[in-house]
Amino acid sequence: MSATTWSAASAGSQWLQRIRQRSNRFMTALYVRISQAMDSGVRALHVRLSVVLARPESGAITAEYAVIMVAAATLAGVLLAIVKSPSTRTLLMGLVKKALSAVG
């Protein structure tokens, strides 16, 4: 091989080494950034899960109160309808008269 061929091969080899070095630096920097982003995401998820797991039933308690209030309002409406009916009114008046006559 001639000297020009060796220098061309040497130049190509050096160029390839520079490409590999830049590629390695780029991949290392990319790996570091991805690792930092994932660590940040994992930390944020851990914090959020800690908050959620610390009070797992806070929303359930509010929903239970809402169901109880609806049930109480429904029961009150049914009782009001029963008390306003003429037969119940007559029955209650009879009980009150009987109780007053027993006392007095």
Residues 1 and 51 in one domain: yes
Please tell me whether residues 45 and 87 are part of one structural domain: no
Position with higher pLDDT, 71 vs 20: 71
Kindly state whether residues 65 and 94 are assigned to the same domain: yes
Residues 49 and 62 in one domain: no
Are 68 and 96 members of one domain? yes
Q: Which two tokens stand for residue 30?
A: 């990319």
Looking at the fold, whether 18 and 64 belong to one and the same domain comes out as: no
Question: Do 51 and 64 lie in a common domain?
Answer: no
CA distance 37 to 19: 27
The count of structural domains within the chain is 2
CA distance 96 to 89: 11
- State whether 10 and 46 are in the same domain: yes
State the pLDDT confidence band at 2, using cuts at 50, 70 and 90.
low
Per the CB < 8 A criterion, the answer to whether 92 and 98 are in contact is no
pLDDT given at position 11: 66
pLDDT in tens, 24-67: 888 888 888 888 888 888 888 888 878 777 766 666 677 788 88
| Residue type present at position 38 | M
Q: Do 66 and 39 reside in the same domain of the chain?
A: no
82 has pLDDT over 60: yes
88 — pLDDT class (breaks 50, 70, 90): confident
Instruction: Say what the pLDDT of residue 48 is.
Output: 80
**Cβ contacts of residue 83 below 8 Å, gap of 6+?**
89, 92
Q: What one-character DSSP code corresponds to residue 55?
A: S
Rounded (10°) CA dihedral 46, 47, 49, 54:
130
> Which residue range forms the structural domain that includes residue 70?
58-104
Identify whether residues 30 and 70 lie together within a single domain.
no
